[in-house]
Chain A
């Protein structure tokens, strides 16, 4: 299994500001994934972050709003830019379990409240 650590675990931010969420995996993985979970809803994939290339965004999500970095095989960041109250959600990072393991593992999430 993979152990995934996210920081911060929660934050309260002012509208118009940006927040960068960090995700650290305890093993090297090619792909990492960022999800959003709006209040009372299920998880929605934001983007796939490959090391050494631009992130691939899902429909409805754009790089200007959710820039992603992937500097190495164990780390990624997601920035929520120019925040509004509608961005209040839990943001989760995920990674596959490693070579030959097909299940995905998740961090504990970052609970973001925008006021």
Chain B
């Protein structure tokens, strides 16, 4: 799986958009970008994933650059409950295979949402 680089920490005001960047310059053509977050004392929670098109769900939006070497997770209206460590992970997707469901975590970005 390709390695990722994320800022160590970021701050965001409540109600504003939180934009979390991730660099994955060695991503392969069949690798997806996944985002997870871990709120203190809880297990990681899946947020969103994408291949090359921008994706949006009820939690967040994922913007992937055209060359796929970087991406941005956007929380459109951050709340205090969004304070967490956010992990960007690049891996081959799809059901089946030996890597199915297996994740390699980096250090992630500590996002602090303040009032």
Contact = CB atoms under 8 A, between A and B. Distances in A.
A31 interface: yes
A43 B100 contact: no
Contacts of B76: none
A86 interface: no
Given A33-B102, A43-B103, A45-B102, 14 more contacts: A31-B102, A42-B106, A42-B107, A43-B105, A48-B102, A94-B44, A96-B95, A96-B101, A102-B101, A103-B34, A104-B101, A105-B46, A106-B44, A109-B43
A30 B96 CA distance: 9
Contact of A108 (B34, B42, B46, B95): B42
Secondary structure type dominating chain B contacts = loop
Interface in A24-74: 29-31, 33, 42-45, 48
Secondary structure type dominating chain A contacts = strand
A95 interface: yes
Interface residues of B, number: 23
Interface of A: 4, 29-31, 33, 42-45, 48, 92, 94-97, 99-109, 111
12 contacts: A31-B101, A33-B102, A44-B105, A45-B102, A48-B102, A100-B95, A102-B49, A103-B34, A107-B43, A108-B42, A109-B43, A111-B41
Interface of B: 32, 34, 41-46, 49, 87, 93-95, 98, 100-108
Contacts of B104: 45
Contacts of B46: 97, 103-105
B7 to A, nearest CB: 15
Contacts of B103: 33, 43, 45, 94, 104
Contacts of A48: 98, 102
A105 B47 CA distance: 11
